[in-house]
Structure 1
Amino acid sequence: MREFIVEADGGSRGNPGPAGYGCVVLDAATGQTLVETYEYLGIVTNNVAEYRGLLAGLRAAHDLDPSARVHVRMDSKLVVEQMSGRWKIKHPDMKPLALEAGRVFPPGRVTYEWIPREQNKHADRLANEAMDSGASASSVRKLSPAAETPTADAGRLSAAAGKRSAAAETSAPAGGKPSTAVGRLSVPAETPTASAETPTAAAGKPSAAAGKRSAAAETSAPAGGKPSTAVGRLSVPAETPTAAAGKPTAAAGKPSAAAGKRSAAAETSAPAGGKPSTAVGRLSVPAETPTASAETPTAAAGKPTAAAGKPTAAAETSAPPAEKPTTSAGRLSAAGAQADVRAAKAVASPGWAPADMGAPATFVLLRHGETPLTPQKRFSGSGGTDPSLSEIGREQARRAAEALAARGTIQHILASPLARTRETAAAVADRLGIEVTVEDGLIETDFGAWEGLTFGEVRERYPDDLTKWLADPEAEPTGGGESFAATATRIAATRDRLVAAYAGRTVLLVTHVTPIKTFVRLALGAPPESLFRMELSAASMSVVAYYADGNASVRLLNDTSYLRP
């Protein structure tokens, strides 16, 4: 079951006076903007405008997926409390709007949350655009290709997509001039594709998402069987993924033991070619395949090199796939990748959960940017020199801040006390205008005598201790460092405390490799050795949501798409 966030606002200059609303629908898993809508309403009150914004947002979410769950965020205390059933609705102009809003989705499928005005800037901006434009303002809708819900058959467009017209949402404001919904297709610069590290079979199966376009587009199926989109008078056939895109070799799907033995805490650099890898949620394949290195398994038949056959705790570089999905002029199949993303979201959605469980505590886990030790693949925990970010790391932090600003859902920022995490958090805080709280429970593991050493140096100096550490989560690094078991106990306690403190909120946790992998491992109920089987790049983003009944869902892992130039 999909989950959407609706942010809505309305305003009136005079109350009553010239009024308008704005609303935006976001994907709850990724923060991606799916729909924007605004409309000039004529002369109405502020509260009526707010209700009209809510109604438009719910309808837009229903158009995307009638079976979805929706979490509404508004800065109108009146609307939130009334729609939550805690306050009575007395005003005659608002009663019918509230009843209409309550009928868009079945009872229990929509939850409401009040947020401060500064956290509702997106919808507020749209409402002001409507009022600024006056009677000439249209209800503008932007849909991304991922906004549509696919059908099972790639060649068939859904009935809902086919029945929408360019004037789908016509309303008559008080001024007497009806405004028309104008559908605009928003195509991202890069089309998401299957994970660079593990292409799945789904990557080669075209889905209806490839054939779907915005509400304004008329769709036809030519004799060749490929859905085409009418753009003016130009018929553009939908791209069909190549056969090779969906056929990874067996080696690509079966990571070797050597590839699995990577440290949960080691520093990571971008693979050769400078293209950081991404994972679930926003899946894409780098334009260049990382070249093999002494510590990276080669792509040839999936067989690691001799050097790669030895477990590397410090190496966090991803193994390139045994067979790279075929592209055409750098364009990858959107259909298969979106199918992977939808599958991941379906697994993450708590469809079995009670309807009254409310919004989860959502932790956006951001790893700090690079330090001088990162490209050298040296152990860098809490017991070492506490390095600051490098110039590359500061640029990574800046790009992460821009991505989080675009996401628009962060309400609090917490950071590990180490310099590299505080610097990364500060870059985000400056961009979002949110203060940073230092959280000691997010600190990196202490690697004892191994701090500052490469994996090879540790293997030469402390071979027995390293062997025990790789095999037993209770084993400590040489010199009395922190074991992975002790780290897990610490992170679990920190998680429980933060989930209770930030119930229903979205919190950015700026931390390190081991804590982030541990959050993910505990959410999945995975064994300790899974720490060695996760890729986590510098300045990467992961997301875990925690529900009131104790369940958790991993919604994103190792996203670095925003780091690309």
Structure 2
Amino acid sequence: MREFIVEADGGSRGNPGPAGYGVVVRDAATGETLAEAAEYIGFATNNVAEYRGLLAGLTAARALDPEARVHVRMDSKLVIEQMTGRWKVKHPLIKPLAAEAARVLPPEQVTYEWIPRERNQHADRLANEAMDAGKRGEQWSPSASRAELDTRTPPEPPGAAGEVQAVEATGAGAAAADVRAAQAVATPGVGWAGPDMGAPATFVLLRHGETPLTPQKRFSGSGGSDPSLSAVGRDQAERVAAALARRGTVQAVVASPLARARETAGIVAARLGLDVSVDDGLRETDFGAWEGLTFGEVRERYPEDLDAWLSSPDAEPTGGGESFAATAARVAAARDKLIAAYAGRTVLLVTHVTPIKTFVRLALGAPPEALFRMELSAASLSAVAYYADGNASVRLFNDTSHLR
């Protein structure tokens, strides 16, 4: 069976910033370079670039021989520890990359080893060549690369004397551990963040302005009449727009597909000179047969269903509505997608009561019943920041100062 060494590196100038990766695949027995790859990947974090490099290296090795044993060597402690299952994968940008890397080759064919940066010079040079090319608006070309010439030192084979011990994961149990590590959804650690994580993705969460149903406190979800803003709601949206224009921090606007949210977003975006994108994951919960009713009316007509709904996040409103658990799963998926799309940027999400409370609840790690312990006013602002290490920070909640 053939054996390859994959050396991969990724980097970002700014973290996040212009990023790229470099990969070299060697014959483990001779040290001969069999393949090189490098790519400028645009605006990304160091960790994303490192994982993109790992993916490219594994893919290149598979193209050479899908049955070969592959020994991955990287100077990213994060990637090595996560791919061997010793650390859990935390960040929503990283989870899909790690899962994809775990599927490129059968886990029993791949081993991982951390090496110091000075022993990863070839891949590092390739990554920098890719970033330099991207800065010039060009693609990296293997014909123009000098990385091997500038870093030519024969690699030691895996297990050589003086080498940092490889972390080897073989067999069915280790393969399962690798896949679990790649797909795990971990609770972020608590504490002060590291000094070099770059700007967070910040979601400014705006509840839409009033509709005719809002002051009557009627259930108004995604399964009802889809009301538009009232005159009061449109005035509230104008006031929010003026406040956000003064702050000048919002770089994009994303709205729920429901009319009241799109109308609010349109008013704000026009003031900010931005376009509005729509994301279905931001829609309100479907309250089934309760749509348009007050809480008292639901209590009178559906007392047992209401008690069940108040007691369990898995309970659905009468008539096939959406449970809070289903809403949370939908919102979490939208959150992860938006974090990936808007890394390092400040985005206004124009949405509804339950999605906003869910963003906040998930950021705090609070239980589902926390939804009933938050008050959220029409046209209020909240904010959550998401950092590269997987942590989230609630920065603002139910701010209505702009309405006074």
TM-score (norm 1): 0.38
Q: CA RMSD in A?
A: 1.2
The partner residue of 1:352 within 192, 197, 219 is 192
The partner residue of 2:261 within 408, 421, 426 is 421
Map of 1:92-491 to 2, 5 A cutoff? 352-491=192-331
Q: Partners in 1 of 2:216 and 2:196 — Cα distance?
A: 50
Q: Partners in 2 of 1:432 and 1:407 — Cα distance?
A: 10
Amino acid at match of 1:424: T
Match status 1:549 vs 2:389: yes
SS in 2 for 1:543: strand
1:121-149: CA deviation from partner (whole Å, max 9, x where unpaired): xxxxxxxxxxxxxxxxxxxxxxxxxxxxx
Q: Partners in 2 of 1:452 and 1:495 — Cα distance?
A: 28
Residue matched to 1:515: 355
SS in 1 for 2:389: coil
Amino acid at match of 2:210: E
- Bigger helix fraction: 2
Q: Partners in 1 of 2:342 and 2:281 — Cα distance?
A: 15
1:493-523: CA deviation from partner (whole Å, max 9, x where unpaired): 1111111111100000000000000000000
SS in 1 for 2:250: coil
Q: Partners in 2 of 1:437 and 1:428 — Cα distance?
A: 13
1:479-499: CA deviation from partner (whole Å, max 9, x where unpaired): 000000000001111111111
Structure 1 residue 536: Cα displacement = 0.2
Q: Partners in 2 of 1:352 and 1:555 — Cα distance?
A: 15
Amino acid at match of 2:272: L
Q: Partners in 2 of 1:351 and 1:480 — Cα distance?
A: 41
Structure 1 residue 352: Cα displacement = 1.8
1:345-391: CA deviation from partner (whole Å, max 9, x where unpaired): xxxxx972121110000000000000000011100000000000000
Q: Partners in 2 of 1:398 and 1:352 — Cα distance?
A: 37
Q: Partners in 2 of 1:420 and 1:562 — Cα distance?
A: 19
1:249-289: CA deviation from partner (whole Å, max 9, x where unpaired): xxxxxxxxxxxxxxxxxxxxxxxxxxxxxxxxxxxxxxxxx
Q: Partners in 1 of 2:192 and 2:358 — Cα distance?
A: 25
SS in 2 for 1:519: helix
Residue matched to 1:559: 399
Unaligned runs of 5+ residues in structure 1 are 1-85, 88-349
1:66-112: CA deviation from partner (whole Å, max 9, x where unpaired): xxxxxxxxxxxxxxxxxxxx99xxxxxxxxxxxxxxxxxxxxxxxxx
1:162-181: CA deviation from partner (whole Å, max 9, x where unpaired): xxxxxxxxxxxxxxxxxxxx
Map of 1:82-97 to 2, 5 A cutoff? none
SS in 1 for 2:277: strand
Amino acid at match of 1:441: G
Q: Partners in 1 of 2:292 and 2:401 — Cα distance?
A: 29
SS in 1 for 2:332: helix
Q: Partners in 1 of 2:191 and 2:247 — Cα distance?
A: 24
Match status 1:536 vs 2:379: no
Q: Partners in 2 of 1:535 and 1:407 — Cα distance?
A: 24
The partner residue of 1:492 within 321, 328, 332 is 332
Amino acid at match of 1:537: S
Q: Partners in 1 of 2:328 and 2:389 — Cα distance?
A: 21
Amino acid at match of 1:446: D
Q: Partners in 2 of 1:527 and 1:407 — Cα distance?
A: 33
Structure 1 residue 440: Cα displacement = 0.6
Q: Which runs of 4+ in 1 moved over 4 A?
A: none
Q: Partners in 1 of 2:232 and 2:265 — Cα distance?
A: 15
Unaligned runs of 5+ residues in structure 2 are 1-130, 133-189
Alignment size in residue pairs = 217
Q: Partners in 1 of 2:393 and 2:196 — Cα distance?
A: 17
Amino acid at match of 1:419: A
SS in 2 for 1:479: coil
SS in 2 for 1:553: strand
Amino acid at match of 1:362: T
Q: Partners in 1 of 2:191 and 2:366 — Cα distance?
A: 21
Structure 1 residue 407: Cα displacement = 1.2
- Larger relative contact order (CA 8 Å, sep ≥ 6): 2
1:416-448: CA deviation from partner (whole Å, max 9, x where unpaired): 000000010011011000000011110000000
SS in 2 for 1:503: coil
